[in-house]
Amino acid sequence: MIKFLDLQKVNAQYTQELKQVASKVIDSGWYLLGEQLQRFEKQYSQYVGSKYTIGVANGLDALILIIRGYKELGVFKEGDEILVPSNTYIASILAISANGLVPILVEPELESYNIDPDLIEAHVNERTVAILPVHLYGQLCDMERINSIASKYSLKVIEDCAQAHGGIYKNGLKAGNLADAGGHSFYPGKNLGALADGGAITTSNEELYKTLIALRNYGSHIKYQNIYKGMNSRLDEMNAAFLSVKLQHLDVIIQKRRIIAQRYLHEIRNQKIALPHVQNTEAHVWHLFVIRTDEREKLQKHLADCGVQTLIHYPIPPHRQDAYVELSGLSFPISEKIHAEVLSLPISEVMTLDEVSSVIQAVNSYN
């Protein structure tokens, strides 16, 4: 059986290094907001190219806190609107509603699966304060178009980088350094994964940075002095240390994923299956390799019979979730089509070339 993702194998690559830093953290007697976090934040800022990184508890909190930060700074207020793709993991939308702001869903392009820049402007009104593009499946959005619309209407742009660590847009500029702030997830299954939940915010805005440093720690810069009604959302020392180890390998991880994706793109040949479209190789880090077919259930069963495990990202669109009844009257045909047709093939840095060949053979033998 070829697993969709073998996390045991992923982390076994670094067992020695991980155990070494774990011992160091255990022995240090210091488990939160210490030197491991400071070191990782510095390394991640250097990697992303942003001035600041703020380690937080998970990717959802990263997005929630960015919006919260802008509220504390008086830039956003409750009832304001943020434009977000209708085709995304629900976290992008939860971050907006958790702050009392209103998510305005915008259809994606069928080719890139990302927010359609042509449709953004029609949704901008006097309540609009930001755009929250999601680099879905690891492919970067059209940030030039998005940023130019944002600057025309003085909107903030918040990147959801949860699936896109290390993606390069243009001129060496990386995900998380392409707009005002970026939310990152280190959920174990992400391309850069901790061994627990974890997340980070990147930004080059000093004012926002200072606000977020307090907000993640009970709204406090000085112990027991609370200037905001903050959260407890901290990236712990153990996982910061693990992430420092794994960050050193991230570019190799991405390279290996690109090699597998290239093989899938060149060797999968099946009339019934639509392959992903890639605009620019460097701007895709292949967190997921997502194909599309109108016979998804049959294809998934065929692949399972061939020993290939697949998953669906995602089966139900956010506006069709029970949690968002207020959106249930809206219609997003492109998102609905995507959610009905997508299937994710195994792709990870620990797959062998033989396994990749088996996946290709299994997909090609479907008829």
Ligand X SMILES: *Cc1c(COP(=O)(O)O)cnc(C)c1O
Cα–Cα distance list, 210 to 130, 220, 250, 280 (Å): 20, 10, 28, 35
Instruction: Identify the active-site residue in 71, 156, 174, 190.
Output: 190
User: Which tokens belong to 59?
Assistant: 């990717």
CA distances from 122 to 107, 128, 335 (A): 12, 11, 18
Q: Is 333 exposed, middle or buried (0-12, 13-18, 19+ CB in 10 A)?
A: exposed
Q: What is the DSSP string of 72-92?
A: HTTS--TT-EEEEESSS-THH
Cis peptide before 47 (omega within 30 of 0): no
Record the tokens describing residue 193, joined without a space: 């994964």
- Closest to ligand X by CB, 91 vs 268, is 91
Give the binding range for ligand X (CB under 6 A) out of 37-45, 97-105, 156-164, 340-348: 156-164
| Shortest Cβ 57–ligand X spacing (Å) | 8
| Cα gap 216→265, rounded to integer Å | 42
Is 160 a binding residue for ligand X by CB under 6 A? The answer is yes
Q: Find the binder of ligand X among 21, 54, 82, 91 (CB under 6 A).
A: 91
| Complex with ligand X: residue 182 or 346, whichever CB lies closer | 182
Under rule CB under 6 A, residue 239 binds ligand X? no
Q: Is 103 in the site for ligand X (CB under 6 A)?
A: no
Question: Which residue lies nearer to ligand X by CB, 247 or 362?
Answer: 247
Decide if residue 177 touches ligand X (CB under 6 A): no
Q: Give the nearest distance from C-beta 231 to ligand X in angstroms.
A: 13
| Backbone region of residue 105 per phi and psi (left: phi > 0; alpha: psi in -120 to 50; beta: other values) | beta
117 interacts with ligand X by CB under 6 A: no
- Positive or negative, the CA dihedral 41, 42, 45, 47 is negative
Nearer to ligand X, 306 or 334 (CB): 334
Site string for ligand X, 182-211 (x = CB under 6 A): ---x-x---------x-x------------
Query: Is 190 known to be catalytic?
Result: yes
φ, ψ for residue 91, nearest 5 deg = -55, -40
Stretch of residues binding ligand X (CB under 6 A), selected from 20-28, 52-60, 96-104, 228-236 = 52-60
Question: Does the footprint of ligand X cover residue 59 (CB under 6 A)?
Answer: yes
Decide: is 89 part of the binding site for ligand X (CB under 6 A): yes
Q: Does 58 bind ligand X (CB under 6 A)?
A: yes
User: For residues 85 and 147, what is the distance between their CA atoms, to the nearest angstrom?
Assistant: 15
Diameter of the chain by CA atoms? 66
Q: How far is the CB of 88 from ligand X (least distance, A)?
A: 6
State yes or no: residue 99 binds ligand X (CB under 6 A): no
Q: Please, what is the minimum distance in Å from the beta carbon of residue 171 to ligand X?
A: 25
Residues forming the site for ligand X (CB under 6 A): 58-60, 88-89, 91-92, 134, 160, 162-163, 185, 187, 197, 199
Residues forming the active site: 190
